[in-house]
Amino acid sequence: MRTLRVVAAVIRSGERIFATQRGYGAYKDYWEFPGGKIEAGESPRQALIREIREELEALIEPEELLTTVEYDYPDFHLSMDCFLARVTEGELRLREHEAARWLLPGELENLSWLPADRAVAALLQERRAQGELRIEN
């Protein structure tokens, strides 16, 4: 099974976390944390900055690696580095996604997440409940 290396941004603003809804493919209408594939020669941080600029027309700063999710989809294995991040320049504008929402941590469980992203949403809720995750501007 081939492995696909990707990155995802958990973009925060105040108490809210940004989520996007896919508008294409087998998982159309499912929610995810934005990001994409790591290209040859890129670090995960570089890939994330590029992907968010391409998909959402904003510049972000990846702050810390939150987790790496390993998930087996039917056709490939996904290895996804997920970074806490904040917008440093511009506004988030959808170029590829169907919709987006700013969510409070308690609202994360209300969305139909992509399978790999479901683990990230659960981790965010768990860390927030334990007081390990402060969400700030």
Q: Which residues contact 26 (CB under 8 A, 6 or more apart)?
A: none
105 and 132 in contact (C-beta within 8 Å)? no
For strands 99-103 and 16-21, give the pairing: antiparallel
**What is the set of domains in the chain, with CATH numbers?**
3-129 (3.90.79.10)
CA distance 137 to 122: 22
Say how many residues make up the chain. 137
How far apart, in whole angstroms, are the C-alpha atoms of residue 60 and residue 111?
Answer: 24
Candidate from 18-32, 36-50, 100-114, 117-131 with smallest mean pLDDT: 117-131
Q: What is the pLDDT at residue 26?
A: 86
Is the pLDDT at 9 greater than 50, yes or no? yes
Lowest mean per-residue pLDDT among 1-10, 85-94, 126-135 = 126-135
Cα separation, 87 vs 17, in Å, equals: 12
CB 6 within 8 A of CB 38: yes
Residue 137 has pLDDT above 60, yes or no: no
Helix, strand, coil percentages (3-state) for the chain, rounded to 5, are 25, 40, 35
* Torsion 137-84-59-106 (CA) sign: negative
The predicted model gives 17-35 an average pLDDT of 94
Q: pLDDT band for position 133 (50/70/90)?
A: low
In the predicted model, is pLDDT for residue 88 greater than 50? yes
